[in-house]
Structure 1
Amino acid sequence: MVCHAGPVTTTWRHLPASAREIAEAATEAVDAARDRDAGAYGPAADRLTAADRAGLVLGGVVRLLLEETHPDGLDGDDVRQVLERCVRSAAQWRPDVDPHVLLVLLAGALGVYDPGDDDAPPDPAAIARHAPLLVADLLAAAGRPLEGYLSAAFAEVARTELHD
């Protein structure tokens, strides 16, 4: 069962237009995933696909959630449990869920994914269709809303860009 923390009250007006688009699309997609609303999920995932750097931001959200839900670190069994839980939950309403794409998302968020190891890395559209499923699942496990993680991920991206 997925918990719902109530209506979204965060506005993203303070963000630049490109970041605001990511925040709004991510919020819509994660809400649709949480609610298992296939009709709303597709358009929101399409918005994420079109939003430059959405994968980077959602990867940051995934990493933050993994760190919080596994404060002692993750081992292979932990990754497998997260992957299995997310796939089982998503497959109930998204029969096209691809465990490989979710595994790439997990590995990428943990900083251990090397695209050279993969014969055909997932395309940005596949990442955009799967990232909100993983985020919604991890949020349910954490029992927290998306907004704080999304804000922290944007701050992390901004810090990284400042130092590069």
Structure 2
Amino acid sequence: MPAQAEPDWLNPDVQGEPLPPPEQPAEALPQPRSKPNKAVEEIVAEQEKKVERVTNPVAEFAGLDKITGRITSFDVYINETVQFGALQVTPKVCYSRPDAEEPKTDSFVEVDEITLDRKIRRIFTGWMFAESPGISAVEHAVYDVWLKACKQKSNVPPPEQAKSN
């Protein structure tokens, strides 16, 4: 058998026996951990904490009229419907996080279109995310609608007050 220039531990030597794996220096071997790092434990515990979501009574939307190019912001109370052009927007819930936390704002929304023959047709049902409006914005031939924020208060009077005035 011809001699190999550099024997490989997977290839048999002259007697046909596999060579042992090469020795690793002691510093390359994993060392047993004596004590967990307290700073690492605190970070992991911090990440594992469940952040509570805040339920809000008002969802703030933005709407684009593609004909005029005008963008309009409007507030909608939960389970109320607001008309934007030929669209009717109804948020069912609107969640956010406390101010000290990373922002995550989402709302479950239903959007209906009033057709030219005065019929109502559902064009969107689902979650909208304020931090990623492109994922779930309603794209209509004439109007686009997306979630901007969830709020505790609005300058728009609540539906009960609007009816009594």
TM-score range, shorter chain: under 0.3
More helix by share: 1
More strand by share: 2
Q: TM-score, normalised by structure 2?
A: 0.23
Q: TM-score, normalised by structure 1?
A: 0.23
The higher-RCO structure (CA 8 Å, 6+ apart) is 1
